[in-house]
Amino acid sequence: MRESQSMVVYSLPEVLDDLYRQFGFWKVSRALVAACMRRAWPGNRLSDLTNYMRRDIGVPEVTETDHERAVQFRRFL
């Protein structure tokens, strides 16, 4: 069974040309940037933790202004 299956590999320029023709330049570009951002985005952040959780793991607590500043910065990104 394994020998009878053939693997078809397309070159990257062919695939990108097909995507460009089907969806357009801006949609393909936006999807590429979104995929890159998704991989580069950090997983867990200390700024996401509540003060209760911070006390449990021994991290200093933050004031509300520090937390609000971190939330505003994340919205900016």
Per-position DSSP letters for 43-61, written without gaps between them: S--GGGS-HHHHHHHTPPP
User: CA-to-CA distance for 4 and 43, rounded, in angstroms?
Assistant: 42
Contact 36, 59 (CB under 8 A): no
Q: Quick one: pLDDT at residue 10?
A: 77
Q: How many domains does the chain have?
A: 2
User: CA-to-CA distance for 12 and 22, rounded, in angstroms?
Assistant: 15
Q: Quick one: pLDDT at residue 9?
A: 75
Range of the domain at 32: 1-41
Summarised one tens digit per residue, pLDDT across range 10-47 is 788 888 899 999 999 999 999 988 888 776 666 677 77
pLDDT band at 71 (very low <50, low <70, confident <90, very high): low
User: CA-to-CA distance for 43 and 41, rounded, in angstroms?
Assistant: 6
Do residues 23 and 10 both lie within one domain? Answer: yes
Do residues 56 and 28 both lie within one domain? Answer: no
